[in-house]
A and B are shown apart, each in its own frame.
Chain A
Amino acid sequence: MASSNAPERSALRRALWGGGALLLVAAPLLLGQGYELHLLIIAAIFTIVASSLSLLIGYAGLLSLGHAAFFGLGAYVSALMFLRLGVSMWGGLFCAAAVSALAAWLVGGLVLKVRGNRFIITTVAFAEIMHLIAVNAVGLTRGQMGLDGVAAPRLALPGLGTIDFGTKTAFYYLAVAMAALCVGVIARIVRSPIGWGLAALRENEGLGEAVGVSAFRHAMIAFVVGGFFAGLGGALYGHYMQFVSPDLFLFSYTTTMLVMVVIGGKMSIAGPIIGAVVLTVLPEYLRVATTYRLVLLGAILLVAILAFPNGLASLWTGRRGRAPAASRSG
């Protein structure tokens, strides 16, 4: 806010966001109901998850490697409520997010007292514990068999007919709306005084405490909000895939989220969106390379991270290398 945001740049930025929004709305018309739309739905869901993780590893500076725990927890909560209690997806989404946030609060009370390696290891361990529960509580979760038949609802609009969220088009709009909500809330948080406190936590915890900024409180806010949206993303994922398994808790999911955040830009609002889209779409288009697909993917990501240490989002915020701090204020 202080300076450096030339009017042209902010106008360009608005135009990009506006154009992007328009494209998103028109996407089902342009792409049809095919595989491309499927990829966009996955990208939208992972935008939610990656954005929530960026709050932790980007803004708060907490390297949580257990984000898949909240993702999987949300998926299971919503799936179980649907299958066992007959609660529709709408209630399930809300409860999944709430339960994941509650879990984050409980776990956060323990792990946010420590930093560095101990914090990282504890978050990994939490996800591993959740995985083991999902595998072994067979009576509840059917173990490795997973839970299938997790459907999306139909929504009856009086006078307008019904919307079947089992269709790709309808679910696409739902996922994009949820992603927009998540990104909006996180943008709001990081630009509010809470965001200033997160910056204090990230940059210099001791100095922050010395001037009255509670590191624990801000870490907890990031953890709980992160858990909330990871749970929401997980629940959406379960209802879209119509299947939930213990694999959702695996470290590979955390890795994917992490790469999305870092590649896109961990301290930008657009970063996780870009990361989610790139990491969802790129592997599919690399299928032409058959055997060498993943090698190629790894190489591309490596080059991207070296060329844009602040993430691909720095392409349009113009922040490469170390950030000139003034442009980051919100």
Chain B
Amino acid sequence: MLLELDSVSVSFGGISALKNVSFAVPDGGIVSVIGPNGAGKTTLFNVITGFRRLNRGAVTFEGQAITGLPPYRIARRGLVRTYQKTEVFPELSVFECVRIGLLNRLDAGFFEVVLGGRRVEAFVAEAPRLVRDILATVGLERKATYAARELSYGEQRLLEIAVGLAAQPRLLMLDEPASGLNKDEAEKLADLICALRDRGITVLLVEHNMNLVMSISDTIVVLHHGEKIAEDVPEAVSQDPAVVSVYLGREWVADA
């Protein structure tokens, strides 16, 4: 298993956001986490990536405990996330934004960088090509010189994924990447996610867009009020009585 959650519980101010959540993400493939608003999906992301402390339980990545590590250390191990509210480096160029993600591949001390050690020089020399490749992967190669804030909303989402890709993730966690995208853009996104999976990047997805989730996920985990109520392949989850009752009254398999 690439990522394992063992009885993870989180509460703030006496309200429990996650209760005894356990599930595992196997290497390769796409796992999605769904659930109504407030089900604890983003809290789950924050706990896994070290942005929020958990009260009980353990998170294991590639067999090693990452519980309690600061976010950047977790990222260094190859577990990289994006944000629900799209995040970019607004004043930097698209090129520069992606280049920052590359830093995750460089392990060099202050003096080695400033004095220009051979590894550092090679890294810097290679950076432009890597950035161009990544921008081509997400389809932003024509926007390299634009400021990140100048991009459209959908493009900023792609840029954030590109920044994450630059960090060379083993597991890429995407928090509602399709929110705010039109149908066309969402379909392109689905293609992109599948392409990433085919390159060997495991994807953990939180998403409201049921078309997207149903079409690309290998496994779906359903959260409700902080508890896991189902975990199965898409067809089974959509038939699950507990899941259906949670989503009662919603257009369950249509566009969210």
Contact = CB atoms under 8 A, between A and B. Distances in A.
B88 A207 contact: yes
B71 A210 contact: yes
Contacts of B90: 203-204
Interface string A146-182: 0000000000000000000000000000000000000
Nearest to A210: B81
A210 B114 contact: no
B103 interface: yes
Contacts of A197: 100, 103
Nearest to A188: B114
Contact of A209 (B70, B96, B128): B70
B227 interface: no
A176 to B, nearest CB: 22
Interface of A: 1-4, 185, 188-189, 192-194, 196-197, 199-200, 203-204, 206-215, 221, 322-326, 328-329
Contact of B114 (A194, A206, A212, A215): A194
A194 B116 CA distance: 11
A20 B57 CA distance: 63
Contact of A210 (B49, B108, B128, B145): B49
A212 B96 contact: no
A214 B69 CA distance: 12
B171 interface: no
B83 A207 contact: yes
Contact of A206 (B80, B83, B167): B83
Nearest to A220: B110
Nearest to B165: A211
A68 to B, nearest CB: 25
A4 B145 contact: yes
A322 B91 CA distance: 8
Given A196-B100, A204-B88, A328-B92, A210 B80 contact: yes
B128 to A, nearest CB: 8
A329 B89 CA distance: 13
A2 B95 contact: yes
Contact of B103 (A206, A211, A328): A211
B92 A212 contact: no
Contact of A221 (B80, B83, B101, B110): B110
B101 A185 contact: no
A212 B70 CA distance: 10
Nearest to B50: A209
A213 B144 CA distance: 21
Contacts of B99: 196
Contacts of A204: 87-90
Contact of B91 (A203, A207, A211): A203
The SS class assigned to the A binding surface is helix
A3 B114 contact: no
B233 interface: no
B249 to A, nearest CB: 35
Contacts of B87: 204, 206-207, 210
Contacts of A328: 91-93, 96
B104 A193 contact: no
Given A3-B145, A211-B104, A193 B93 contact: no
* Residue among B83, B90, B93, B163 with max Cβ neighbours from chain A (10 Å): B93
A246 B83 CA distance: 48
Contacts of A208: 72, 89, 100
A189 B120 CA distance: 13
B39 interface: no
Interface string B146-178: 111000000000001001101100000000000
B23 interface: no
Contacts of A188: 114
B89 A207 contact: yes
Contacts of B128: 1
B80 A193 contact: no
B116 to A, nearest CB: 8
Contact of B164 (A193, A211, A329): A211
B120 A193 contact: yes
B95 A326 contact: yes
B225 interface: no
B147 A324 contact: yes
9 contacts: A2-B96, A3-B145, A207-B163, A208-B89, A209-B75, A210-B164, A211-B163, A326-B95, A328-B93
A4 B93 CA distance: 12
B52 to A, nearest CB: 12
B32 interface: no
Please provide the 9 A-B residue pairs with the shortest distance between their CB atoms, ordered closest to farther.
A212-B104, A212-B75, A203-B89, A325-B147, A211-B167, A326-B145, A325-B93, A209-B71, A207-B87
